[in-house]
Amino acid sequence: MSVTVRIPTTLRPLSGGNSTVSVEGTTLGEVLANLEAAHPGFKDRLFDDNGGLRRFVNLFVADDDVRYLQGLETPVPAGETVSIIPAVAGG
């Protein structure tokens, strides 16, 4: 099942400059694994050394933050959008 992944500007060099890419997957974990397979480098930017999502990266399936859903096991229906949103900090 194909889904669209929205890529933030800071990560677009990994996707060949594309703001969106299409990958297969039925869960967020599968989508991210296939994103890494198609565009190497995302794993290092999205996951910590223990295989968990980095704290400063927010992932949304549709408009829902996966931290409040099922994390990497969150279902991703065909045709849905996954958004990668880097956290913004400042003072």
What 3 state SS string does 9-73 have?
HHHHHHHCCCCEEEEECCEHHHHHHHHHHHCCCHHHHHECCCCCECCCEEEEECCEEHHHCCHHH
Report if residue 58 sits inside a domain. yes
Report if residue 25 sits inside a domain. yes
Report if residue 38 sits inside a domain. yes
Averaged pLDDT of the chain? 94
Residue 49 pLDDT exceeds 70: yes
Instruction: Give the position of tokens 């969106």.
Output: 20
Strand partners, 61: 64, 82
Report if residue 91 sits inside a domain. no
Report if residue 12 sits inside a domain. yes
Number of domains in the chain: 1
Q: Residue 10: its pLDDT value, please?
A: 93
pLDDT band at 61 (very low <50, low <70, confident <90, very high): very high
The parent domain of residue 63 ranges over: 2-86
Q: Which of 85, 78, 87, 64 is nearest to 6 (CA)?
A: 85
Q: pTM for the whole thing?
A: 0.92
Q: Residue 87: its pLDDT value, please?
A: 83
